[in-house]
A and B are shown apart, each in its own frame.
Chain A
């Protein structure tokens, strides 16, 4: 038996012993997702048991080093673990922006002290993070952001406003882009870390066209941000005034995640399901569904090629932008067609039959797909410039 086969057998056995049956059901509601943090509560004992087993095994962040709370798995082992979890339908034991966003940034740019403290807190689900990037006046043109930190020697005094901060009202800490040099656009931003309970921080949830959302506005009014939280634990990631490098790295990482996560929902054909749902399909709708299914199935082949090439270090480095562009546009079309096939039933906003207006709310929510994490227009700019090498793009 090869090492990988042995590892697979070991993982299988461990999952069998530790993943409760309830945790092998698809995620249905918001509270099925465990986010951790200071004020976290478990929905039930199964959720708690599953999280704790993974935490103790290092499986909340399996590929991080053991010293930082992970299990130190190689990428190949990590893939085996994911395959085995997906085989039994196991839910992620812990979800967080710490795992997805801050963690990768710290692994790349953090000091040893920061890794020891923050990565372990993230891995153990102790601290829940949120991300402070966009501002009301700085969306696609993120680098124009104005939130300002005035240098006071051993700390900054930060004033400004962030927007689209997911779960800011439930997060413990924030990683936040703050301007620290008004003269220098790109080299005048610092990637700061601070506690959301600091004096002067307040949040306000944002209601979307689809209803309630995890998004918030975050206000900073004379917030004191220390430059150090102890020996070798700076209050910022990377260098002062070089936070844009970290932010850019994370944006690339985010697009890669969005495009890499293209599997499942986004690539499935829908025509057959629509026919089952609504009986006869109008001829032109059937035709549109067929054209959509062609696009969706072709995109799924592209997703496979993209991932294969990424793993082998082939493919263009800007390709995630193309995947993000096509995947999100496709998802919007998918929901337009689902609304058309759903008819008046799909319009219901609160009914039990629609589980609280899921079709309509999901349809509206997909309109953000091509805005968040870089708009389609920005993706097209990047493709023009970096892949097609068009002038002055």
Chain B
């Protein structure tokens, strides 16, 4: 399969690009909700529009009412989300939670998927415990209790947790904190008793929660997949989510770079366009190279995942790390090359820097994933 869009994918890219530039634009969404101190961190109206476009259920199978598309197509939409800094529950709901629900039984799929596809519901995932992404260790416990389970522990960096109708929670049902086995995934509804959210606004104006489970009672139906068999589903979620986050990062990088290159062609100092200075040209050209490579490896990782390749896991980490590097460079060079106005809230370039910082951290940063590449390669 060649590493570029086929006709259908090119059409999707055009549609998504146009839609996000119009409806998901920075002024219309990110700034609009931020300046109103919106507690969701995104607009539900836009989420309904996502549904009308068919985006919400892209990864949901056609039998379940979705479009049955792959990670590559989700990446096309995410790149446009990244380019426009469009706040939405797409990555958490339509990529991560949707991937988990693929492994759920009929009852659970019937309960949760229609609301996702229609844009009436928003879901999220609760994986991290602590300030860094370390999914190898899971301390949150679900003890057997009657016909169901009792969930105890705390999750952090739960994206829009307080606005979510359901949380996919990774918990330990047996073994020790660091064991690979003994993990079970639960679909926890928002009205579950003894669950509490401490909602915090993050640097990029998005909302996340520290979510406490203080003996949350769940019945057996809440289990996604098999009891003690959740690690595999969790890994599938992580791979899809990391590739998705990488695709969004490529969009953030591209958006920041384009804005900066445009600025180099407009701003005059010393009687010249600053884009005439070779000191800046070379940095811009280097940045272009890095962003191109980041996009290529993200597309490759998605293609591998959609093709069922066992290399997808490794390439997902390569992509997440490479995009972190490239997007980090794009936003840092962006602010620097904009000079003083790059520091002002009025200009958008700083918003790219903020979004990049949050996205870098989500599902593992550059250091985590480079280390993972070394581990998986055997050194």
Contact = CB atoms under 8 A, between A and B. Distances in A.
Interface of A: 269, 271-272, 274-275, 281, 286-287, 289-291, 293-295, 297-299, 301-302, 304-306, 308-309, 311-312, 314, 322, 325-326, 377, 379-381, 383-384, 387-393
A311 B288 CA distance: 22
Interface string B310-340: 0000110011011001000000000000000
Contacts of B273: 391-392
Interface in B185-202: none
Given A298-B318, A301-B297, A380-B286, A390 B275 contact: yes
Contact of B300 (A275, A305, A392): A305
17 contacts: A269-B373, A271-B374, A271-B379, A287-B370, A290-B370, A294-B369, A297-B318, A299-B293, A302-B293, A311-B2, A312-B4, A377-B282, A383-B285, A390-B281, A390-B284, A392-B272, A393-B281
B261 A388 contact: yes
A221 B154 CA distance: 84
The prevalent SS among residues of A at the interface is helix
Interface string B29-61: 000000000000000000000000000000000
B300 A387 contact: no
Nearest to A385: B281
A387 B371 CA distance: 34
Contacts of B275: 390-393
A83 to B, nearest CB: 16
B282 A380 contact: yes
B293 A380 contact: no
Contacts of A390: 261, 264-265, 275-276, 281, 284
B344 interface: no
Contacts of A391: 265, 273, 275-276
B321 A294 contact: yes
A389 B278 CA distance: 13
B378 interface: yes
B5 to A, nearest CB: 9
Contacts, number: 139
Given A294-B325, A384-B281, A322 B300 contact: no
Nearest to B293: A302
Nearest to A294: B321
B168 interface: no
A385 B278 CA distance: 11
Contacts of B282: 377, 380-381, 384
Contact of B373 (A297, A301, A322, A326): A297
A293 B285 contact: no
B15 interface: no
A294 B276 contact: no
B285 A380 contact: yes
B273 to A, nearest CB: 5
B377 interface: yes
Given A294-B321, A391-B265, A391-B273, A305 B3 contact: yes
A291 B370 contact: yes
A290 B371 contact: yes
A327 to B, nearest CB: 10
A309 B284 CA distance: 23
Nearest to B294: A298
Contacts of A325: 285, 289
Contacts of B315: 297, 301
A299 B319 CA distance: 11
B179 interface: no
Interface in B332-379: 367, 369-371, 373-374, 377-379
